[in-house]
A = this chain, B = another copy of it.
């Protein structure tokens, strides 16, 4: 966006941009609810302990403290209150599930659309304040694997409804990778995953070097790990490719079966959208099985627009464990790309379909009565605030893209005459306050995808 933002990393939209964002949010919400997901929100702050328990992101956390706790400095206040803004919605959700387990029905399917904060260096596609849209299912003690399949398909359906280019949901399974690494004798499987995660950024040679330098891998081990990571398939043929590498491990077999179930069903229900990609590692250490990432085709450098995975023990109170699986759509990242590339535009800048013009200032109250009649039929409308010249009132509508201007005048017999003008065509005709309706396509703002993508 050419428009200057006053605080880097904290994007704000103009009203017409917000219409696009709202369309994305509404589409996601509607899709999630059609699949039976319940809406929840968690508080924006967590205790710092809770946040730092999982994941390697302490340097990105924003601490929150009362500005004037006079007696002590802000840091000790922050320590006392121990509050920070959440950096994702998964960790807060896990805490919410444990706290409210007695009030929830399991398996619990929820969606959550909220802002999160990360103090990273801002760049395109990476903001410090941004919106995520998450779906997760958690079970009480156990959760059928089937949800790993179902959630991927719900995400495919959700993203398919958005005005974005083709996308690929890349899926891997941690059991498969970790079992394989173990099978070739690399026991620090987390270390291998962490380095494999850098493949797209630094390339295979640098990753091989890291595996040798940091983890003491042999050339053969490093090459085997890279061979695994190079496997990609739109169908279950990836399993044969893995087995062809000649490694045998029980955990790996478990992962192969799981990933085969995801890719098999996805290939049938959403061909070409979900692919096995054995390079996917995901940095966060709470994933234990399936892991997901999603890229926009032709916009891979934007990074993943939807990621997630299966976590067996993120939500636990020590006695009970609530395993879950979930994905998180980076709404701000998707919307900023839609806006910067012009993938879609709103049909007008404001909700109003009609501006009711004033012939004189005394008409205002009567015009509001008319407006109420229109609104009762779901027609968004405004009344001019002053009886400026009609040209000026029409220009008011034009600037905002309001398609219709309504004029009220008095017939010779003293009765009121109502006329509506389509200011795009200039066409004007009599209209009845009781039953006039705009054409269906003008009733509400629509978000129109651009032809060219």
* Residues in chain A within 8 A of chain B (CB atoms): 3, 6-7, 10-15, 18-19, 22, 33-45, 47-48, 58-68, 73-75, 78, 84-85, 95-96, 99-100, 103-105, 107, 109-110, 115, 117, 119, 129, 144, 146-147, 150, 153, 265, 268-269, 349-352, 364-365, 368, 375, 378-383, 385-386, 396, 399-400
Closest 8 CB pairs of A and B: A74-B75, A36-B352, A36-B382, A15-B38, A10-B43, A33-B351, A61-B67, A144-B385
Residues in B whose Cβ lies below 8 Å from that of A48: 67
Q: Given A13-B41, A36-B381, list of 6 further CB < 8 A pairs?
A: A62-B64, A62-B67, A105-B396, A105-B400, A153-B368, A269-B365
| CB-based contact B14/A103 at 8 Å | yes
| Chain B minimum-CB-distance residue to A143 | B385
Residues in B neighbouring A96, C-beta threshold 8 A = 12
Q: Smallest distance from the beta carbon of A16 to chain B beta carbons, Å?
A: 8
Q: Let me know if A18 and B38 touch, CB within 8 A.
A: yes
Q: How far is the CB of A111 from chain B (nearest CB, A)?
A: 10
Residues from chain B with Cβ under 8 Å of A119 in the complex: 66-67
> In angstroms, how far is the closest chain B Cβ from the Cβ of A405?
13
CB pair B36–A385 under 8 Å, yes or no, is no
In the assembled complex, the CB of A133 is this many whole angstroms from the nearest CB of chain B, namely 15
Chain B neighbourhood of A268, CB < 8 A: 365
**In the complex, are the beta carbons of B61 and A63 less than 8 A apart?**
no
Q: Which residues of B contact A45 (CB under 8 A)?
A: 7, 10, 129
Whether B73 pairs with A382 at a CB distance below 8 angstroms is: no
Q: Is the CB of B41 within 8 A of A18?
A: yes
Kindly report which residue of chain B lies nearest to residue A112, judged by CB atoms.
Answer: B18
Complex Cα gap A113–B40 (Å): 16
Contacts of A385 on B, CB cut-off 8 Å? 107, 144, 146-147, 150
B67 and A34 form a contact (CB under 8 A): no
CB distance from A322 to the nearest CB of B (A): 15
The residue of chain B having its C-beta at the shortest distance from the C-beta of A398 within the complex is B105
Residue of B nearest to A95 (CB): B6
Provide the residues of chain B in CB contact with A19, threshold 8 Å: 38-39
Cross-interface CB contact of A61 among B18, B66, B378, B380, cutoff 8 Å = B66
A444 vs chain B, min Cβ distance (A)? 8
Partner of A3, one of B100, B107, B396, B399: B100
Given A33-B380, A43-B10, verify A349-B67 contact (CB < 8 Å): no
Can you show 29 pairs from A to B with CB atoms below 8 A apart? A12-B41, A13-B40, A14-B100, A18-B40, A19-B39, A34-B351, A34-B381, A36-B382, A37-B351, A43-B129, A44-B44, A58-B67, A58-B68, A59-B68, A60-B66, A63-B65, A63-B66, A63-B74, A65-B74, A73-B73, A73-B75, A74-B74, A74-B78, A75-B75, A105-B399, A109-B382, A144-B385, A265-B365, A268-B365
